Amino acid sequence: MHADPHAAESVAPRTVLGACPHDCPDTCSLVTTVQGGRAVRLVGNPDHPHTAGVLCTKVSRYLERVYHPGRLLEPLKRIGPKGSGRFAPVSWDEALDEIAARLRAIAARDPQAILPYSYAGTMGLVQGEAMAARFFHRLGASRLERTICASAGAAALETTLGAKVGMPVQAFAHSRVILIWGSHSIASNLHFWRHAQEAKRRGAQLVCIDPRRTETAEKCHQHLAVLPGSDAALAYALMHEAFARGWADLDYLQRHTLGWEALRERALQWSPSRAAEVCGVPAAQIEALARTVEAAVRAGEPVGIRLNYGMQRTRGGGNAVRAVACLPAVWGAWRHRGGGLLLSSSGAYPVRRDALHRPDLLARSACPQPRSVNMSTIGQALLHPGDAAFGPRIEALIVYNSNPAAVAPDGGQVQRGLRREDLFTVVLEQFATDTADLADFVLPATTQLEHWDIHLSYGHTDVLLNRPAIEPLGQARPNTAIFRALAQRLGFDEPCFADDDLTLCRQAFGDALDFEVLLARGWVSLPWPETPFADGGFPTPSGKCELASPRLAALGLDPLPQVLPNHEPPGADPRYPLALISPPARHFLNSTFVNVVSLRDAEGEPALEIHADDAAARGIADGDWVEVFNDRGACRLRARVNGRARPGVVVGLGIWWRKLSPDGRNVNELTSQALTDLGAAPTFYDCAVQVRRVAAPA
């Protein structure tokens, strides 16, 4: 006779290895303790070198999220007018049958009228775009351009270095100088910060380049509070100093780069004093930074740049990343362990996206070449009536792993689009988010503790496996199961729709990694060199670091990185003289965790940081309620005169849920749908506003 495994489990706790699913470069390894079928403890895996047993505050609270009283546990169907928040529970069969019938009817006219909308609510390759991609390919639905976060920087890296690759994160422990550029590492890249701290203990100089005086900036030796969108000018001034003062590594440039003479010519036009005007900082600060780098370069010591996405959210963001990506070549920094640059490591993975996503299924669909819709202009897209250029009006929206009502720019337009009575919206969610409130059907999704997945990272080069630790709560189902069920109802009988989640995990890398090791240990390190470009060998077509890009030249574009003004240059419009940036809050992850009470309490209230001079000029004191506004919209926030905002720049921290904000709106009321130079990405931090004091919201 066998013992009842559940009876045994109720006494003996067991541990399950998982992976943090969130959109964060650190991709931590998790250890969940389960007792009696319930997860009772969740910690960072001490055996995984990158995690080193440490989780950030938010994910240390992941169990509060999993067992949150607001978890969606049954399918819901809207019964009141759109946006009324009135839903009734229905069975899975009823929900899936009706959704399938609606999609079938729309697809019979034109499947492109159906649009998936998803991003990185989970970074998992399986619960992300695996079964979902298969489903939408087979249907012939519109494709979604997933640009909302990183596509400008990605395009820039691909142009200059050839791929989303860079120095290994652990090498920063050996850097002599670290430029933390457009990154609030303590909030959004904690496990890199560990290496930066170690370098600091060994005597390294840390420099932060960020308009905001973040906790990270406070702990660096130098802080350049540049204006948003001015990074390309700063990068050129640093190149100016290297070329003009004779410490550029001409040997490296000659052997391993393309176009360095042209780059030098342009750099010599960017003296520190010229750049200082664009950046809004004293020239002496730029010169001091150049001297810090020069001393290290002349001594043959490594200079590392931890570039992050903060700098690419303005009109010229792609070119800014290109300009910064030239620096390690000009300095010869790639030669040394601890030298070079890291923006993203995700290009290092031999992931088999075609095996997971099956784009070949398009050929079997009713629309083998569907149009693409940019997720960053979803407001415009939803309001578009449809025409020959745009294609059909969007009639159905299937949202998973994303909360566009809160996170997409120009929130007023997004609201109007999502509130269309004739739009059929299905939202797969764990919680009743702002987006779920506007759905026709809400389908309850599992959390990371309840499903299988496999993860790559954009901050290191390990693969992690996530095993389910507990049974799905209530009637929640993994995204994969929901798309499998829809595929079945639409009569998609290709065998790939029957693949289970563990099979999908195996397919992600095929034989490019040893899956048995992954199953046993939870993570596998892919080989990645300490000094990937010490001898050149860039993954560009030329094999060189393409400072001037032949590919851009062939398109008739400027081959060199450009210094582009913002769409809404700081201070240019007297009606809206302040530049608003809205970077992540430390205790939220985008709009995730805003509903976790302990984390929301840690953040306090939706706030606007403002410099003392800008506050005084408007009669605003710390703690006053203010309205931030421009032509697109307005929102009410609590003023914080706390020394973090520089003059001319205000900071609306974090993407609060609209419905958990004092006036039911958030900072994305202000942001625009204008796009970046490269990568067609949003320009969240390129946003001119005015601020005035108001009475407290009712």
Give the integer Cα–Cα distance in Å for 569 and 579: 8
Which of these ranges, 25-33, 346-354, 362-370, 680-688, lies near ligand SF4 under the rule CB under 6 A? 25-33
CB 111 within 8 A of CB 137: no
Instruction: Determine if 210 is a binding residue for ligand MGD (CB under 6 A).
Output: yes
Locate tokens 């020239």: which residue?
A: 283
Q: Enumerate residues 125-154 that contact Mo ion by CB under 5 A.
A: 149
- DSSP for 409-440? SSHHHHHHHHT-TT-EEEEEESS--TTGGG-S
Q: At closest approach, how far in Å is the CB of 426 from Mo ion?
A: 24
- Residue 2, C-beta contacts closer than 8 angstroms, at least 6 positions apart: none
Q: Determine the Cα–Cα distance for residues 131 and 125; give it in Å rounded to an integer.
A: 10
Closest separation between CB of residue 574 and ligand SF4, Å?
41
Record the tokens describing residue 311, joined without a space.
């700098």
Q: Is 27 in the site for ligand SF4 (CB under 6 A)?
A: yes
Tell whether residue 466 is a contact of ligand MGD (CB under 6 A): no
Give 52 or 283: the residue with its C-beta nearer to ligand SF4. Answer: 52
DSSP classification of residue 682: B
Q: Which of 151, 183, 345, 531 binds ligand MGD (CB under 6 A)?
A: 183
Structure tokens at 449: 């503790």
Residue 518 sits in the site that holds Mo ion (CB under 5 A): no
Nearer to ligand SF4, 59 or 208 (CB): 59
Q: CA angle at residue 298 from 295 to 299, to 5 degrees?
A: 85
3 state DSSP class of 585: coil
> Between 151-160 and 317-331, two packed helices, what is the crossing angle to 10 degrees?
40
In whole angstroms, how close is the CB of 350 to ligand MGD at the nearest point? 23
Terminal CA-CA length for the chain: 66
Looking at the Cβ atoms of 149 and 687, the one nearer to Mo ion is 149
Helix boundaries (H) for 548-619: 550-554, 597-603, 612-617
- How many residues touch ligand MGD under the rule CB under 6 A: the total is 58
Do 82 and 64 contact (CB within 8 A), yes or no? no
Q: How far is the CB of 66 from ligand SF4 (least distance, A)?
A: 14
When asked if residue 120 is in the footprint of ligand SF4 (CB under 6 A), the reply is: no
Q: How far is the CB of 107 from ligand SF4 (least distance, A)?
A: 37
For 245, residues 6+ apart whose C-beta sits below 8 A from its C-beta are 294
Q: How far is the CB of 590 from ligand SF4 (least distance, A)?
A: 11
Q: Is 584 in the site for ligand MGD (CB under 6 A)?
A: yes
Q: Which lies closer to ligand MGD via its Cβ, residue 401 or residue 549? A: 401
Return all residues near 325 (Cβ < 8 A) that are at least 6 apart. 156, 157, 160, 161, 307, 341, 343
**Which span (56-64, 109-117, 260-268, 541-549) binds ligand SF4, by CB under 6 A?**
56-64
User: Closest Cα partner for 135 from 174, 178, 104, 108?
Assistant: 104
Task: Compute the least distance from the CB of residue 72 to ligand MGD, in Å.
Answer: 9
Q: Is 464 in the site for ligand SF4 (CB under 6 A)?
A: no
Q: How far is the CB of 51 from ligand SF4 (least distance, A)?
A: 7
Tokens standing for residue 317: 């963001």
Binding residues for ligand SF4, per CB under 6 A? 20, 22, 24, 26-28, 55-56, 58-59, 190, 589
Query: Where along the sequence are the contacts to ligand MGD (CB under 6 A)?
Result: 23-24, 119-122, 127, 148-149, 181-184, 187-188, 209-212, 214, 226, 228-229, 231, 308-311, 314, 400-403, 407, 428-431, 433, 445, 479, 581-586, 588-592, 655, 667-668, 671, 684-685
Residues that bind Mo ion (CB under 5 A): 149
